[in-house]
Amino acid sequence: MKIVVRVPNWIGDAIFALPALDSLRAAFPDAEVWLAGAPWAGDIMSGGAFDGRILSVGDRRGIAGARAGARALAERDFDLGLLLTNSFGSALVFALARIPRRWGYAGDGRSPLLTKSVSPATSGASPHMVHFYLRLLEGLGLPTLPPEIRMTVTEAERESARAALEAGGADRGRPLAVLNPGAAYGPAKQWPAARFAELARLLQDRRGADIAVTGTAGDAPLAAEIGAGLARKAVDLTGRTSLRGLLGVFSRAAVVVTNDTGPMHMANALRVPVVGVFGPTDPAATAPFHPPSTVVKKDGIVCWPCLYRVCPYDHRCITAVAAEAVFAAAGELLG
């Protein structure tokens, strides 16, 4: 039996789906399970059971992209397709590939494209996304395992991170605080760079920490602002690591402070202490899943949670989070 799973399109969601993938493999122990997803999925999912079984199908949009993705799937002659995405487009790709059994959540008008579907809960508190994916399997009649998210790094990845950090001035004798100030989802999730800069000064002055800043090349201006007033310069790694390289950097950290974004969950999957700064999103759904971790957010904001990518008002849910509060949370994790 050959199964293909369409993994979610966001890094954090893909990590949240790992327990569901573990349960699927346990439910079909003799099946050949493949993953299909965005081009970065290979980095996130590599180093485990899916090496060599990861298809990139998410880099083209529109009907041409759907047909290209369907052709890539059809070539593998899958017996069953499980959709962990919720879009009409991803279900259309599976249907165009003529996968005989197509399972997923109903919604977005895609029920006719599925051969077996589960209605998502419409009442009650939103579950954590880990449980959202597990509930899909349960609704399909499959047993689920106790959820655990774990990622690993190789010694080569750890060594490469060490070399990059030391080349940037980090000292192995000092605790390393990694700050991740960007957010691919949009600026509404981003704690201001000025607050990250204040936090960096507190971590240096009061805890003797070295600072490293991670992110995409587009986050370089944030790194420059964070490092501008430090007594010891920050190690600027923005745009200089792959996702696997980022895991290596996190594995060297004493604490990671980040917005609610994919790298937060990468660090958490390594069991590195994580502080997540939350604004418009709800920690009940997307908080780090395992300890050691903590969430800092401002309560009493009347428009929260909005889930907007760009705040139409004054961004108060996240600008109201004080650097001292985040420093206190980081200090508790540092011990």
The amino acid present at 92, given as its one-letter code, is L
- The verdict on 256 and 301 lying in the same domain is yes
Q: What residues are paired with 55 via a beta bridge?
A: 36
Q: Are 129 and 13 in contact (CB under 8 A)?
A: yes
- The verdict on 169 and 273 lying in the same domain is yes
284: in domain: yes
Supply the Cα-derived Rg of the chain in whole angstroms. Answer: 21
Please give the tally of structural domains in the chain: 2
144: in domain: no
pLDDT at 335 (0 to 100): 85
- The verdict on 113 and 210 lying in the same domain is no
pLDDT at 60 (0 to 100): 65
The values of phi and psi at residue 286, to 5°, are -135, 20
Which stretch of DSSP H or E encloses residue 101?
strand 101-105
pTM above 0.85, yes or no: yes
- The verdict on 44 and 164 lying in the same domain is no
Q: What is the DSSP letter of 119?
A: P
- The verdict on 200 and 328 lying in the same domain is yes
- The verdict on 187 and 266 lying in the same domain is yes
Provide the angle, in degrees to the nearest 10, between the axes of the packed helices 193-207 and 220-227.
40
Structure tokens at 163: 């070399």
210: in domain: yes
- The verdict on 184 and 120 lying in the same domain is no
Quote the CA–CA distance of 97 and 257 in Å, as a whole number: 42
Structure tokens at 324: 């001292």
- The verdict on 134 and 162 lying in the same domain is no
| Domain hosting residue 35, numbered range | 2-139
Which residues, 6+ apart, have CB-to-CB distance to 141 below 8 Å? none
Q: What is the CATH number of the domain that holds 179?
A: 3.40.50.2000
Cα→Cα distances 167→163, 320, 330, Å? 6, 35, 25
Q: Are 269 and 330 in contact (CB under 8 A)?
A: no
The amino acid present at 175, given as its one-letter code, is P
Residue 221 preceded by cis peptide, ω within 30: no
Give the pLDDT means over successive 10-residue stretches in the chain (335 positions). 96 96 96 93 79 80 86 96 95 96 95 96 82 97 97 95 97 97 85 97 98 97 96 97 96 98 97 96 96 95 82 84 98 93
Q: What residues are paired with 274 via a beta bridge?
A: 256, 293
| Neighbour count for residue 215 (Cβ, 10 Å) | 26
Quote the CA–CA distance of 202 and 182 in Å, as a whole number: 20
For residue 91, how far is the Cα from the chain centroid? 22
Per DSSP, helices labelled H in 30-189 are 41-45, 62-74, 88-96, 129-139, 155-167
- The verdict on 232 and 125 lying in the same domain is no
Q: Are 126 and 105 in contact (CB under 8 A)?
A: no
pLDDT at 47 (0 to 100): 66
101: in domain: yes
Q: Is 236 helix (H, G, I), strand (E, B) or coil?
A: strand
